[in-house]
């Protein structure tokens, strides 16, 4: 293998097809940037879930003297009913911890923020005692809710996860959107690469014809073309990664994170984790597209 020949061929090829090479680089960079954005949203989604799910719990509110509802027909919750609920929760495999909150504790928590005029008129017996339940897997709340919802003395069961639902749906919607556009772009990039390589193969048909004739191996004939596409793909992917870093810097680090401090945000380390995958995707797609093209246009 004579590398000097291979590399001079690559340099020539990239130069001769400059406009097409630029088109390939741009298309690959856009598709990689979108793909990276999809991954970024996914990472953000995971970070948000991780942050919030640690705090998510199920609240089981017990009946008080004023409660209405089928399970509260007996008025305020009795000791027996309370114990049954506690035992049911503690025996459930998806439950990791159970805290009991009395009416007085609820009142303290309620009146904690000062200057709340409502706190002046409320009394502990108007509030509900409750069990705060932490789950082993926050996604598996259904079983726990249905296990206690129907028990006597339980006024209602409140799942905080329902509050976060729309946020996660929004995030996954963005993620799907970014990935779909990225896939369309990748297809466009692959077609563009195929065309560029076909043009390059046509430009060099005299050389490749002689190479075939004197018995150069297919690998040797195709290598410069494949490397040419891979290099264009690599440059495009690097630009795409730069775009993802820029997006992260502007959208997350400068805009979102300082203003919404109550939740977790993806950091630059998460973006670095994506870089190898983005580069690999860009290079492999380019090399593969050119390989497939060459199989058709540079046959033995």
Partner 1 sequence: MIRFDNVTKVYPTQSGPALESLTMEVERGEFLFLVGPSGSGKSTFLRLVLKEERPTSGRIRVAGKDLHRLSNWKVPHLRRRIGTVFQDFRLLPNKTVFENVAFALQVIGKPRRQIARDVPAVLDLVGLDGKQDRMPDQLSGGEQQRVAVARAFVNRPLILLADEPTGNLDPATSVGIMKLLDRINRTGTTVVMATHDQSIVDQMRKRVIQLEDGRLVRDQSRGVYGYTR
Interface positions with partner 1 (CB under 8 A) = 1-2, 5, 206-207, 209-218, 220-221, 300
Which one, 1 or 91, has the nearer CB to partner 1? 1
Cα(140)–Cα(135) distance, rounded to whole angstroms? 8
Cα(186)–Cα(31) distance, rounded to whole angstroms? 5
Which one, 15 or 206, has the nearer CB to partner 1? 206
Cα(216)–Cα(209) distance, rounded to whole angstroms? 10
Distance of closest approach, residue 292 Cβ to partner 1, in angstroms: 17
Which one, 166 or 215, has the nearer CB to partner 1? 215
- Cβ(84)–Cβ(151) under 8 Å? yes
Distance of closest approach, residue 284 Cβ to partner 1, in angstroms: 23
Cα(8)–Cα(222) distance, rounded to whole angstroms? 14
Distance of closest approach, residue 218 Cβ to partner 1, in angstroms: 7
Which one, 3 or 260, has the nearer CB to partner 1? 3
Distance of closest approach, residue 231 Cβ to partner 1, in angstroms: 21
Which one, 46 or 207, has the nearer CB to partner 1? 207
The burial class, CB within 10 Å (0-12 / 13-18 / 19+), for 211 is middle
Distance of closest approach, residue 227 Cβ to partner 1, in angstroms: 15
* Contacts (Cβ under 8 Å, ≥6 apart) of 141: 58, 94, 135, 159, 161
Phi, psi of 291 (to 5 degrees): -60, -45
The helix or strand, by DSSP H or E, that contains position 42, with its residue range, turns out to be helix 18-53
């Amino acid at each position: 293998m004579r590398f000097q020949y291979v590399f001079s061929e690559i340099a020539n090829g990239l130069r001769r097809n400059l406009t097409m090479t630029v088109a390939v680089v741009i298309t690959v960079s856009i598709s990689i940037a979108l793909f990276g954005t999809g991954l970024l949203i996914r990472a953000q989604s995971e970070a948000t879930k991780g942050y919030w799910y640690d705090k998510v719990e199920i609240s089981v509110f017990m009946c008080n003297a004023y409660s209405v509802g089928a399970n509260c027909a007996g008025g305020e919750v009795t000791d027996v009913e309370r114990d049954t609920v506690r035992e049911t929760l503690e025996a459930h495999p998806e439950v990791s911890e159970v805290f009991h909150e009395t009416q007085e504790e609820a009142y303290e928590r309620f009146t904690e923020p000062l200057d709340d005029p409502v706190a002046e008129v409320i009394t502990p017996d108007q509030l509900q005692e409750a069990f705060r339940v932490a789950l082993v897997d926050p996604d598996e709340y259904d079983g726990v809710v249905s296990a206690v919802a129907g028990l006597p003395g339980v006024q209602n069961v409140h799942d905080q996860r329902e509050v976060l639902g729309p946020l996660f749906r929004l995030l996954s919607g963005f993620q799907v959107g970014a990935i779909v556009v990225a896939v369309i772009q990748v297809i466009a990039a692959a077609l563009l690469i195929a065309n560029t390589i076909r043009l390059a193969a046509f430009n060099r048909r005299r050389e490749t014809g002689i190479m075939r004739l004197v018995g150069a191996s297919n690998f040797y004939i195709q290598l410069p073309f494949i490397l040419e596409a891979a290099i264009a793909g690599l440059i495009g992917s690097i630009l795409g990664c730069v775009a993802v870093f820029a997006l992260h810097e502007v959208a997350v680090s400068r805009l979102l994170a300082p203003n919404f401090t109550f939740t977790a945000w993806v950091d630059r380390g998460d973006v670095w984790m994506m870089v190898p995958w983005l580069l690999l995707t860009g290079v492999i797609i380019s090399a593969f597209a050119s390989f497939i093209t060459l199989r058709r246009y540079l046959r033995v």
